[in-house]
Amino acid sequence: MSNMATREAYGLALARIVKENDDVVVLDADLSPATKTCYAKEARPDRFINAGIAESNMVGMAAGMAASHMKPFASSFAMFLAGRAFEQIRNSIAYPHLNVKLCATHAGITVGEDGATHQCNEDLALMRALPGMTVLQPCDAVETREMLNYLVNYNHPCYVRMSRLGVDSIYDENYKFELGKISTIIQGKSIAFIASGIMVSEALIAIEQLNQEGIYPSLYNVHTIKPIDQDKINSIAKSYDYVMTLEEHNVIGGLFSAVVEALKIPKIIYPIGIKDTFGESGTPEALMKKYEIHYTNIIDYTKEIMGHE
């Protein structure tokens, strides 16, 4: 089982894509060694635009490039892309529905030691609220690569949310990415975990231990947060006694909200996520425990809602 951060897989995929596609342009805002667009810069220096530490301008330039029939992929940390440049994204990209791929890395609290100013737990809420914006979050390296391959010929504004932390691979090489479709990873019974991003691998660890105690959760991966797979959400809601969402994002506005909004029948959804608070400095593991999104928290919460001792 290989371990790789989704941002690393993104950088590698993008370097290949920019080499093979003359109309792809890569933009960054002075973070290329961290977002991993540095590989694309190396592969095609003539298709790499460094905006400097000027994210709002980068987003505006990307919009202009799309208007000139280029295919821009613009990167920064989630905080400085979705956060800093929100209104530029809304009015210059989403409103004219331009073909810009906003590829954000370092989302969520697993940014770690840099602390609250760099830990974006609000980007899904912001991006989901934009009409016409596709919002994606890969859970491992293979899915990131397949998602990127798909996006090259997907001519719509799109936000991709990636992480700093390495994650174990979940999918094998034959995985096929299907936009808008929830992917089933484990078929279990009575409780369903609906997870996204790094929480998919966290859920897997929890499931392994829960199995030993006679609890067999299903695991669903929501790589497409918007448009959400409404049919699948409702069939999950009908088929299970308990449904839990797992996200590294504020429980307000992210996956939990998206799932609740998609329901056509009344159903209690139990959220694992950041409980409307800011993060802080610390190791990713210590932070996941403190903010209760660690696999141990998933295990405890599962047993609690299912009434197990």
Q: Which does 112 bind (CB under 5 to 8 A by kind): other proteins, ligand TPP, none?
A: other proteins
Nearest to 93 by CA among 180, 35, 159: 159
Report if residue 53 touches ligand TPP, rule: CB under 6 A: yes
Residue 227: asked if its preceding bond is cis (omega within 30°), the reply is yes
Residue 14: enclosing H or E segment and its boundaries? helix 6-20
* Residue selected from 80, 159, 171, 295 as contacting ligand TPP according to rule CB under 6 A: 80
- Tell me if residue 146 is catalytic: no
Q: How far is the CB of 118 from ligand TPP (least distance, A)?
A: 7
Residue 205's Cβ-count burial label (10 Å; 0-12, 13-18, 19+) is: middle
Q: How far is the CB of 86 from other proteins (least distance, A)?
A: 13
Give the x/- contact pattern for other proteins in 38-77, rule: CB under 8 A.
------------xxxxx-xx--------------------
Report CA Rg, the chain: 19
Residue 179: beta bridge partners?
none
* Residue selected from 30, 168, 280, 292 as contacting ligand TPP according to rule CB under 6 A: 30
DSSP-derived 3-state class of residue 278:
coil
Report if residue 86 touches ligand TPP, rule: CB under 6 A: no
Question: Is residue 241 within 8 Å of residue 190, measured between CB atoms?
Answer: yes
Nearest to 150 by CA among 306, 290, 296, 17: 17
Residue 159: beta bridge partners?
102, 135
Residue 107: beta bridge partners?
120
Site for ligand TPP in 259-288 (CB under 6 A): none
Q: How far is the CB of 216 from ligand TPP (least distance, A)?
A: 44
Find the part of the chain contacting other proteins (CB under 8 A) among 66-74, 152-160, 223-231, 278-286: 278-286
Using CB under 6 A as the criterion, which residues of the chain lie in contact with ligand TPP when the complex forms? 30-31, 53, 80, 84
Q: Write out the residues near other proteins by the rule CB under 8 A.
A: 28, 30-34, 50-54, 56-57, 79-80, 83-84, 112-118, 280-283, 286-287, 290
**Known catalytic residues?**
55
